[in-house]
């Protein structure tokens, strides 16, 4: 998306990706059309200021999916992003160079590729997306540490029972794939609070006006105001009202307010903010009602992996003793393992003082345009971060509606 906007602004770029298929990442590389977008089609344009771009593309290329308020398959959205890039390349020949390569290091004036080649660069923008999960200490043939790896779920038999670590969006995705394959086993999902993503309404929700006390002042007062609004009957309307201003509120928050948000409210924010299509929610409810999906609140303990089964010891939330969970497989669905301090690209930048971690260690500190801050707090004019790795600076920078706004800021800075 950034390369296309740069080209439309007359700026050349080199687009580096480890595979020839650019524009997919984790979310859109899924071949399963049952994996739906979490945002309605009419809000998924890849270009800020062109609200109908994606819907118009659907009507022309996948007319059966052209309903603006519906949720299109993520695979199809990947097709749209690639089609947009190709169209821009055709309209602006020579402004986008594609390179199939991996970057080993970022220096002030060049990129060092994994094959040793040095690539001159005036500016570098890190758009590395969501990394694979942190597999933790558990190891074994019966443990699937990265469920997104090609063929990761192929070993699971149709009648096999599974234990899933995590109850968020990744868990939802994996259960969908298994069910579509004809899987008839049982799944037990465990997380600290057993919170699952809430479903969207069938029809779009209208943002509710937010009173001043919900936008400023002590966090406790804001939360009280939000809960009062939610009790009036439409919590989704409240979340829709916060959506366009979340990044601004995060930027304005003090370090202490951010810490309290992450420590106490983040799990509830995530499941209410990053919702799933209503039909997916209904399918999960049906699995739970049939006794095939159980969701438990607790902490994981020791994991024992045998030749035919895995045994997961766990402690229920609130105390007490629980019998170990035994299944044929354990799947890590804890989500992306963001860690800028250990990432091969960004860790050296931190050690050299060219970058620094934010106080909560969510990621690299950035300025309002997305520039990386040096150890002394000065912005680096030639190093930007865009997308999920920029969450420390902007909090909501995962969904396309948020990313496309950040793209405009980066394009403006580079222009």
270 pairs with which residues across the strands? Answer: none
The last residue of one of the domains, among 241, 273, 305, is: 273
Q: How far is CA 256 from CA 197, 218, 224, 259, 390, in A?
A: 27, 11, 19, 5, 19
**Rounded CA gap, 257 and 260, in Å?**
5
In a domain, 67, yes or no: yes
401 C-beta neighbours (distance < 10 Å), count: 15
Whether residue 359 is found in the same domain as residue 404: yes
Q: What is the pLDDT of residues 256-296, one digit of tens each?
A: 999 999 999 999 999 999 999 999 999 999 999 999 999 99
- CA nearest to 39, candidates 197, 165, 187: 197
Whether residue 188 is found in the same domain as residue 235: no
DSSP code for 163: E
The last residue of one of the domains, among 223, 249, 273, is: 273
Q: Which two tokens stand for residue 223?
A: 């939360």
User: What is the average per-residue pLDDT within 381-388?
Assistant: 94
pLDDT band at residue 135, thresholds of 50, 70 and 90? low
Q: What is the pLDDT of residues 310-347, one digit of tens each?
A: 999 999 998 888 999 999 999 999 988 778 888 889 99
Q: How far is CA 221 from CA 81, 174, 226, 368, in A?
A: 42, 38, 9, 27
Residue 377 sits at φ, ψ, to 5 deg, of 90, -5
Whether residue 185 is found in the same domain as residue 311: yes
The last residue of one of the domains, among 332, 354, 377, is: 332
CA 74 from centre of chain: 13
Residue-level pLDDT at 132: 74
Residue-level pLDDT at 254: 93
- Over pLDDT 70: what percentage of the chain? 99
pLDDT band at residue 137, thresholds of 50, 70 and 90? low
In a domain, 52, yes or no: yes
Whether residue 312 is found in the same domain as residue 344: no
Residue 111: is its pLDDT beyond 60?
Answer: yes
Number of domains into which the chain is organized: 3
Cβ neighbours of residue 34 under 8 Å, at least 6 residues apart? 73, 176, 177, 180
Whether residue 364 is found in the same domain as residue 286: no
Residue-level pLDDT at 23: 87
Whether residue 83 is found in the same domain as residue 223: no
In a domain, 138, yes or no: no
In a domain, 166, yes or no: yes
In a domain, 137, yes or no: no
Cα torsion through 363, 365, 367, 372, rounded to 10: -90
Runs of H (alpha helix) within 290-399: 347-352, 391-394
> Which uninterrupted H or E stretch holds 299?
strand 293-305
Is there a contact between 226 and 214 (Cβ–Cβ < 8 Å)?
Answer: yes
User: What is the average per-residue pLDDT within 177-186?
Assistant: 97
Strand, helix or coil at 65?
Answer: helix
Strand, helix or coil at 131?
Answer: coil
Residue-level pLDDT at 339: 84
Residue 83: is its pLDDT beyond 80?
Answer: yes
Q: Mean of the per-residue pLDDT values for the chain?
A: 93
- CA nearest to 360, candidates 395, 329, 385: 395
In a domain, 207, yes or no: no
Strand, helix or coil at 349?
Answer: helix
Residue-level pLDDT at 50: 95
Residue 406: is its pLDDT beyond 60?
Answer: yes
**Rounded CA gap, 243 and 250, in Å?**
12
**Rounded CA gap, 275 and 291, in Å?**
23
Q: What is the pLDDT of residues 207-239, one digit of tens each?
A: 999 999 999 999 999 999 999 999 998 999 999
Whether residue 15 is found in the same domain as residue 82: yes
Whether residue 123 is found in the same domain as residue 187: no
In a domain, 205, yes or no: no
In a domain, 119, yes or no: yes
Cβ neighbours of residue 314 under 8 Å, at least 6 residues apart? 190, 296, 298, 299, 300, 301, 322, 324, 325
Residue-level pLDDT at 321: 85
Strand, helix or coil at 394?
Answer: helix
Residue-level pLDDT at 283: 97
Give the CATH number of the domain where residue 169 resides: 3.50.50.60
Residue-level pLDDT at 340: 86
Whether residue 170 is found in the same domain as residue 293: yes
Residue-level pLDDT at 97: 96
Whether residue 377 is found in the same domain as residue 283: no
**Could you tell me the maximum CA-CA distance found in the chain, to the nearest angstrom?**
65
Whether residue 150 is found in the same domain as residue 231: no
pLDDT band at residue 81, thresholds of 50, 70 and 90? very high
Q: What is the pLDDT of residues 15-71, one digit of tens each?
A: 999 999 898 888 899 999 999 999 999 999 999 999 999 999 999 999 999 999 999
Whether residue 183 is found in the same domain as residue 287: yes
State the sign of the Cα–Cα–Cα–Cα dihedral 53, 54, 57, 58: negative
Range of the domain at 22: 2-131+337-414
- Over pLDDT 90: what percentage of the chain? 86
């Amino acid at each position: 998306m950034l390369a296309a906007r740069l080209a439309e602004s007359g700026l050349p770029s080199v687009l580096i990706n480890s595979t020839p298929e650019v524009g997919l990442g984790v979310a859109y590389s899924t071949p399963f059309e049952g994996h739906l977008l979490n945002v309605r089609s009419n809000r998924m344009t890849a270009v800020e200021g062109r609200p109908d771009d994606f819907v118009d593309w659907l009507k022309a290329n996948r007319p059966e999916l052209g309903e603006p308020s519906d949720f299109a398959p993520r695979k199809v959205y990947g097709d749209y992003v690639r089609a947009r890039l190709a169209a821009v390349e055709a309209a602006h020949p020579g402004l986008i160079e594609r390179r199939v390569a991996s970057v080993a290091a970022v220096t002030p004036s060049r990129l060092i590729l994994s094959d040793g080649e040095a690539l001159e660069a005036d500016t570098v923008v890190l758009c590395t997306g969501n990394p694979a999960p942190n597999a933790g200490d558990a190891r074994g043939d019966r443990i699937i540490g990265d469920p997104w790896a090609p063929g990761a779920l192929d070993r699971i038999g149709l009648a096999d029972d599974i234990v899933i670590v995590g109850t968020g969006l990744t868990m939802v995705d994996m259960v969908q794939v298994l069910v579509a394959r004809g899987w008839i086993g049982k799944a037990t999902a465990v997380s600290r609070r057993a919170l699952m993503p809430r479903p969207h309404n069938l029809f779009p929700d209208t943002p509710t006006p937010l009173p001043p006390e919900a936008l400023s002042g002590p966090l406790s007062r804001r939360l009280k105001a939000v809960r009062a609004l939610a009790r009036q009957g439409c919590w989704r309307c409240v979340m829709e009202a916060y959506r366009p201003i979340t990044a601004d509120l995060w930027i304005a928050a003090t370090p202490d307010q951010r810490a309290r948000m992450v420590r106490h409210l983040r799990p509830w924010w995530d499941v209410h903010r990053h919702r799933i299509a209503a039909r997916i929610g209904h399918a999960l409810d049906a699995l739970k009602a049939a006794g095939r999906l159980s969701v438990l609140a607790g902490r994981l303990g020791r994991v024992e992996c045998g030749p035919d089964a895995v045994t997961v010891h766990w402690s229920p939330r609130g105390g007490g003793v629980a019998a170990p969970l035994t299944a044929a497989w354990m799947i890590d669905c804890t989500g992306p393992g963001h860690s800028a301090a250990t990432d091969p690209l960004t860790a050296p930048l931190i050690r050299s003082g060219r970058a620094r971690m934010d106080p909560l260690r969510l990621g690299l500190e950035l300025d309002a345009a997305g520039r990386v801050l040096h150890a002394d707090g000065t912005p680096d004019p030639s190093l930007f971060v865009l997308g999920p790795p920029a969450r420390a600076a902007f909090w909501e920078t995962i969904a396309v509606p948020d990313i496309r706004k950040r793209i405009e800021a980066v394009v403006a800075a580079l222009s």
